[in-house]
Amino acid sequence: MKTRTDFPRPTRVIEDARIPLPDGTHLSARIWLPKDAATNPVPALLEHLPYRKRDGTITRDELTHPYFAGHGYACIRVDMRGTGDSDGLMEDEYTQQEWDDAIAVMVWVADQPWSTGDWGMMGISWGGFNSLQVAALRPNGLRAVISLCSTSDRFADDIHYKGGCMLGENLGWAAQMLAYASPPPDPLLVGDRWRDMWLHRLNAQPFLLETWLKHQRRDGYWKHGSVCEDWDAIDIPVLAIGGWHDGYRNTPATLARNLRNAKAIVGPWNHKYPHFAGPEPRIGFLQEALRWWDRWLKDIDTGVEADARERLYVMDSLKPERWVKERPGRWVGLDNHPDCELFYLSDDHGLGQARGQLACDIRSPETCGAAGGEYFPFAYGPELPDDQTPDDAASAVFDMAHPFGQDRDIIGAPRLHMRLTPKGRAGQIAIRLCDLRPDGTSALISHGFLNLCHHKSHEHPKALTPGTAIDMTVTLDQCAYRLPKGHKLRVAISSAYWPFLWPAPENKGVTLTRATLSLPIHKDGTAVTFPPAEAAPAWRSTTLRPAGMTRDDDGQGTITITTDNGETQDDIHGLITGSKVTEVWSITAGDPLSASAEITWHTRMARGDWNITTTCTASLAASATTWHPRARIKAFKNGTCVFEKDFATDIPRDHL
């Protein structure tokens, strides 16, 4: 990544702007803008997050926002209410209050002498979500959005539930938010009231897993903030960006095909901005973003309307590894929908283009799924899907008899249409599409999941009737993958996928009696190029402890993941921050109710003789009828415990 230091307009930084809200609360914002903006006003770009601008996102902020400011924008990076150095309390993700606050911030910005009153909203993950959600409210002055690694459907395609199954990441994210919210504001910015603000927040801090488990079906809670409920509400241009190694890989295509004016870019990346994401190749995201902003906020013809609807990186087949630095492939631009080829699953475990008889019993051990990889790869460590062979051995597999005679570009969302007969009153199905490589490895192309109690409706699930056949379609995740000549395709079906999915309360299996794979194939596409990645100068900091990640699988159902995010000192104001997390996921084959997980976060924040540490532990277990989420926060000042809080609310299982 090239460091850029020469910009058209010199910039300045407001380190801590206190922005008043209508209810008297003040939010803390860091603002980059051209030095001459007071006499030559500029449009503004808002990033509205709970992730602590002072230390949480400072690395990426420094690479990104000064770059935009140097090209004639005011960048407003706001700590949301109750987070970082802002006042107030945060209750949940994507609340009406959060959206109202974002709009109020931009009303304030519009009154500043350096602002034209036009603005865009951008962000990755949480910021990508609320950019779309605020756009649906149509506030004055909002002209365009760039949304990265986000979702349009908070129930069916977020970190909580997928295909009506509960993701293990539901616990993981709740633990992470507990940890993210546990450090105090910086005394250098808020003064002596830091301690009162901190303890007030800790006392009010929710354990969000409790909230999410109270909504196990697609009810009004999840419809709130799901922009797919009303596509017409978003009437401004949206650039949607994602990564094939990210959990939110479906959204760019969904937005590009449903919004009035949307474009999509998807690369081989993890859950990061594309100018520093992995696996490589990276792209000049900041240059692409400037093309978008200049067109819609400055009315400069940058040619974005002529871009293909979807610009996708078609990944080449690669021997599976837990992490790869680079993923070979090619960029293509597509405006049309793919053709579909049909393949039938048959009794001889074949996958062919002629329909045959099928009657296959499927009941996987609860340990199946260990090769699945992380929902959110973002540590540049052992997080990607491994060789699928061990999970294939625990699944029903259906293989092509002969390899393809020519390359196939699989681009889109594969679908498996099935008829099966459940043997119990609950269950789940995991579908994996795999590349059987000549070297003997099985590489994951895409996967999809379904809670069988949700096969008709996520909003109105029903218990299964053992012995009664049901029909369903499982849509796998979007992908762009070249299956080379000489490779074969495999469909693998399992009734468990741990720890990616929390197991259903029973796993009695199913009998599969009909299955057709609809495979999206693209035979054309325009070659696409991007400029190389560049960014503003990196954060000036000193590494005190390097980051690292380890993953240990004992082969008996217990997986231990340790992620050390390292420890860093800011070279300007001296703040030291760091964190470390350990996850233990455990299950016993033959017993879905044995599933348990515990995640412990340690955070540190220090300067001079001021030293703050927190320990946040979150765990989950379940009986056949009840969830048992548990959590604890402990906070220390200079080694003395100043706060402790426990969470223990049992919640009934609801067809999950």
In a domain, 531, yes or no: no
Q: What is the pLDDT of residue 33?
A: 98
Q: What is the pLDDT of residue 337?
A: 82
Q: What is the pLDDT of residue 336?
A: 87
pLDDT tens-digit map of 593-631: 999 999 999 999 999 999 999 999 999 999 999 999 999
Look at residue 525 and tell me whether its pLDDT is greater than 90.
Answer: no
**Other CB atoms closer than 10 Å to residue 336's CB: what's the count?**
11
Residues 145 and 279 in one domain: yes
- The long-range contacts involving 169-172, CB below 8 angstroms and separated by at least 24 positions, are 169/247, 169/375, 169/376, 170/209, 170/212, 170/213, 170/502, 171/209, 171/597, 171/599, 171/618, 171/619, 171/620, 171/629, 172/375, 172/376, 172/583, 172/599
What's the Cα-to-Cα distance from 656 to each of 226, 275, 312, 448, 624, rounded to whole Å?
A: 21, 39, 35, 17, 10
Residues 482 and 358 in one domain: yes
Mean pLDDT calculated for residue range 166-180? 97
Mean pLDDT calculated for residue range 340-353? 94
Listing DSSP states for 229-246 in one string gives G-GGG--S-EEEEEETTS
Residues 148 and 170 in one domain: no
pLDDT tens-digit map of 315-341: 999 999 999 999 999 999 999 888 899
Task: Indicate the pLDDT class of residue 524, thresholds 50, 70 and 90.
Answer: confident
Residues 472 and 359 in one domain: yes
pLDDT tens-digit map of 287-309: 999 999 999 999 999 999 999 99
For residues 304 and 273, what is the distance between their CA atoms, to the nearest angstrom? Answer: 20
Mean pLDDT calculated for residue range 434-459? 98
For residues 44 and 204, what is the distance between their CA atoms, to the nearest angstrom? Answer: 33
What's the Cα-to-Cα distance from 158 to each of 166, 385, 388, 444, rounded to whole Å?
A: 10, 19, 24, 20
Mean pLDDT calculated for residue range 271-290? 97
Residues 316 and 280 in one domain: yes
Mean pLDDT calculated for residue range 460-477? 98
For residues 194 and 175, what is the distance between their CA atoms, to the nearest angstrom? Answer: 23
Residues 413 and 488 in one domain: yes
Residues 101 and 146 in one domain: yes
Q: What is the pLDDT of residue 636?
A: 98
Residue 503 is classified by DSSP as P
What one-letter code names the amino acid at 346? S
In a domain, 530, yes or no: no
Look at residue 523 and tell me whether its pLDDT is greater than 90.
Answer: no
What's the Cα-to-Cα distance from 579 to each of 157, 183, 565, 576, rounded to whole Å?
A: 28, 11, 5, 11
Q: What percentage of the chain exceeds 70 in pLDDT?
A: 100
Give rounded-to-5 percent helix, strand, coil for the chain. Answer: 20, 40, 45
Residue position matching structure tokens 């409210």: 137
Residue ending a domain, choose from 456, 489, 521: 521
What one-letter code names the amino acid at 414? P
**Residue 142: helix, strand or coil by DSSP?**
strand
In a domain, 127, yes or no: yes
What's the Cα-to-Cα distance from 649 to each of 96, 110, 168, 208, 626, rounded to whole Å?
A: 26, 45, 19, 12, 10
- For residue 242, report the phi and psi dihedrals to the nearest 5 degrees: -150, -175
Q: What is the pLDDT of residue 223?
A: 98
Residue position matching structure tokens 């997986």: 559
Mean pLDDT calculated for residue range 537-560? 96
What's the Cα-to-Cα distance from 645 to each of 48, 186, 204, 314, rounded to whole Å?
A: 28, 22, 10, 48
Look at residue 120 and tell me whether its pLDDT is greater than 90.
Answer: yes
In a domain, 303, yes or no: yes
In a domain, 535, yes or no: no
Residues 417 and 372 in one domain: yes
- How many structural domains does the chain have? 3
Residue ending a domain, choose from 521, 553, 588: 521
Residues 114 and 246 in one domain: yes
In a domain, 532, yes or no: no
Q: What is the pLDDT of residue 361?
A: 97
Residues 13 and 66 in one domain: yes
Q: What is the pLDDT of residue 495?
A: 98
Q: Which of 203-207, 235-239, 404-408, 503-507 has the lowest mean pLDDT?
A: 404-408
Task: Indicate the pLDDT class of residue 130, thresholds 50, 70 and 90.
Answer: very high
Q: What is the pLDDT of residue 321?
A: 97
Mean pLDDT calculated for residue range 37-53? 97
Which range of residues forms the domain containing residue 277? 2-154+224-333
Mean pLDDT calculated for residue range 462-485? 97
Mean pLDDT calculated for residue range 585-592? 96
Specify whether the CB–CB gap between 432 and 147 falls below 8 A. Answer: no
Pick from 56, 79, 78, 60: nearest CA to 68: 60
Specify whether the CB–CB gap between 415 and 474 falls below 8 A. Answer: yes
Task: Indicate the pLDDT class of residue 356, thresholds 50, 70 and 90.
Answer: confident
In a domain, 529, yes or no: no
In the structure encoding, which two tokens stand for residue 40, read together? 């030559």
Q: What is the CATH number of the domain that holds 452?
A: 2.60.120.260
Q: What is the pLDDT of residue 280?
A: 97
Residues 471 and 386 in one domain: yes
In a domain, 534, yes or no: no
Listed in sequence order, the DSSP H helices in 48-193 are 58-70, 96-110, 126-135, 169-180, 187-190
Specify whether the CB–CB gap between 595 and 498 falls below 8 A. Answer: yes
Residue ending a domain, choose from 333, 365, 396: 333
Q: What percentage of the chain exceeds 90 in pLDDT?
A: 97
Q: What is the CATH number of the domain that holds 315?
A: 3.40.50.1820
Residues 61 and 198 in one domain: no
Look at residue 29 and tell me whether its pLDDT is greater than 90.
Answer: yes
Residue 133 is classified by DSSP as H
For residues 73 and 147, what is the distance between their CA atoms, to the nearest angstrom? Answer: 18
Look at residue 78 and tell me whether its pLDDT is greater than 90.
Answer: yes
Listing DSSP states for 1-23 in one string gives -EE----SS-EEEEEEEEEE-TT
Task: Indicate the pLDDT class of residue 100, thresholds 50, 70 and 90.
Answer: very high
Question: Mean pLDDT across the chain, nearest whole number?
Answer: 97
**Other CB atoms closer than 10 Å to residue 441's CB: what's the count?**
18
